[in-house]
Structure 1
Amino acid sequence: MARQPRAAARSSAATTELLIDRFRPGGRILLAEGVPQSYVDLGDPTYLHFDYVRRMASVVDAAAPGGAPLRVLHLGGGGFTLPRYVAATRPGSAQTVVERDAALVTLVRRELPLPTDDIRVRVADARDALRTEIDGDYDLVLADVYQAARMPEHVASVEFAAEAARVLRPDGIYLLNLTDLPLLAFSRVQAATLRAVFADVALIASRAMLRGRRYGNVVLAAATQPQRLPVARLASRAARDPVPGGVLHGASLDRFVAASRPVTDAPTGAG
């Protein structure tokens, strides 16, 4: 893909750059420290360029009847790709986006205007913001919190997952995007971490990722209600994706997690 710089902003955490996709007139690629963070199509918010975003969107689509508005909390903003998608596919949805990088928010508002006033933006740390939310207020909580290519430790613990569970409605769903290396050690630990809090957990990833052949993204979905996740529908959607994927759930997730232990806020080695 040939790319041409469009704009840049610098924050305390990263240099953020927005590039034009010459092969798709409305396409914009957001990079932080050279790492692709988001892809936004200004003319078609339902176009999802990255496979992990399509996997997250498949859970959004299956969370409620088609077109029904939802209350959604997005932890991590990037280019606001999924908030745009929800606004387009579920008009009237009340959405809150939490993004800690004020310079990034300014850049996105200027270059990638939001399509609706129903998307509220808070400049804050994801965990700090989550603590202020009231119990049972959201249908969906989507976490995609990264500093360049690294997921901060304070959003990867049992305690953080418990906060996400607290703000969900009884039938709500928590979605987590993470990146991992071929052995998928971090994904195994994160699956174990969510299982310590949620009754129903599934993992969605490309077949190449599940076979341990590449670095990339893994999506975890979790619900407090047993058997809440629409696993068959998610598996069908993953199999039909341009980057074919699979779903681990139940016994297959048991085998994947194996002896991996949940992560807590306690320092390593603390008793």
Structure 2
Amino acid sequence: DGPLVEFVRRELPPDRTWRLKVRTGDAREVLARAPGGAFDLVVVDVFAGARTPAHLTSVEFLQEVARALDDGGLWAANITDGAGSLAFARAQVATARAVFPHTALITEPAVLRGRRFGNLILLGSARELPIAELTTAIGRDPFPGRVEHGPPLERFTGGARPVTDATAADSPAPPDGTF
């Protein structure tokens, strides 16, 4: 989103000593052009309207993310779901677990239980995640959340299958009045 990048540069200019490059365009296309091991962090916080586009939700996309990450790199994705079965979130966790050996999910308990629609943060890496530090930080937040990982995260998937390009769909639309 070019106008958003310009707004951030104008209102929150980065320190000139940072080695920060921002690229605009379709996230999957830009990532495909990046050299292997180029990034230590890939953040996917992409919405078309209020929904994550299907082509950014698949195993094939996450394999591209993993290729672009350096050995200790971290992927973080903001997804939305809730107020029901959490089928989209469960499938996204299964997708992340199919690509990354270490995964975690961070969200508010009410969202995790499907009681309300909201944000869930998925993390993936080839290296161990700092679960204890994440749990402490999330517990201190004014809106405390939970960090799920390991066997509880596997159980959370409820048998959901990883999403492929052939089965991908946009994230669920938020209920009316959510935003």
State whether TM-score is above 0.5.
yes
Q: Which residue of 1 aligns with 2:140?
A: 240
**Gaps in structure 1 of 5+ consecutive residues:** 1-100
Does residue 200 in structure 1 map to residue 102 in structure 2? yes
In the alignment, which of 151, 166, 169 is matched to residue 67 of structure 2?
Answer: 166
AA partner of residue 130 (structure 1) = L
Say whether residues 1:152 and 2:53 are aligned partners: yes
* Greater helix fraction, Structure 1 or Structure 2: 2
> C-alpha separation between the residues in 1 aligned to 2:134 and 2:167?
36
CA drift of 1:224 comes to 1.6
Distance 1:171 1:123 in 2: 25
Q: Which amino acid is the alignment partner of residue 204 of structure 1?
A: I
Q: Following TM superposition, by how much is the alpha carbon of 1:213 offset from its aligned partner in structure 2, in angstroms?
A: 1.7
Q: Where in structure 2 are there 5+ consecutive unaligned residues?
A: 169-179
> Corresponding residue for 1:142?
43
* 8 A Cα contact 2:100 2:124, kept in partner: yes
In the superposition, the TM-score normalised over structure 1's length comes to: 0.57
> What root-mean-square deviation, in Å, do the aligned CA atoms of Structure 1 and Structure 2 show?
1.6
Report 1:1-271 matches (<5 A). Answer: 101-110=1-10, 112-117=11-16, 118=18, 119-182=20-83, 183-225=85-127, 228-267=128-167
- Percent sequence identity is 48
Any idea what SS the aligned residue of 1:127 has?
helix
- What are the Cα deviations for residues 130-151 of structure 1, in whole angstroms up to 9, with x where unaligned? 0011111221111101112110
**Partners of 2:95 and 2:162 within 8 A in 1:** yes
Runs of 4+ in 1 over 2 A off after TM superposition: 101-110, 115-121
TM-score normalized by structure 2?
0.85
Give 1:267 deviation, angstroms. 4.9
**What SS does the corresponding residue of 1:203 show, helix, strand or coil?**
strand
Q: Secondary structure at the match of 2:23?
A: strand
Does the 8 Å contact 2:82/2:112 carry over to 1? no
Q: Deviations over 1:76-130 (max 9, x none)?
A: xxxxxxxxxxxxxxxxxxxxxxxxx3333344444x2423343322221100000
Three-state SS of the structure 1 residue aligned to 2:96 is: helix
Q: Distance in 2 between matches of 1:137 and 1:104?
A: 24
Partner letter of residue 261 of structure 1?
R
* Partner Cα distance (2:9, 2:141) in 1: 31
Structure with greater proportional strand content: 1
Residue 124 of structure 1 aligns to which amino acid in structure 2?
Answer: G
How many residues align structurally?
A: 165
The structural deviation recorded for 1:207 is 1.6
CA distance in 2, matches of 1:168, 1:133: 10
Query: For the structure 1 residues 106 and 169, does the alpha-carbon distance in structure 2 shift closer, same or farther, using more than 3 Å as the test?
Result: closer
Give the CA deviation at 1:218. 0.1
Give how far 1:233 is off: 1.4
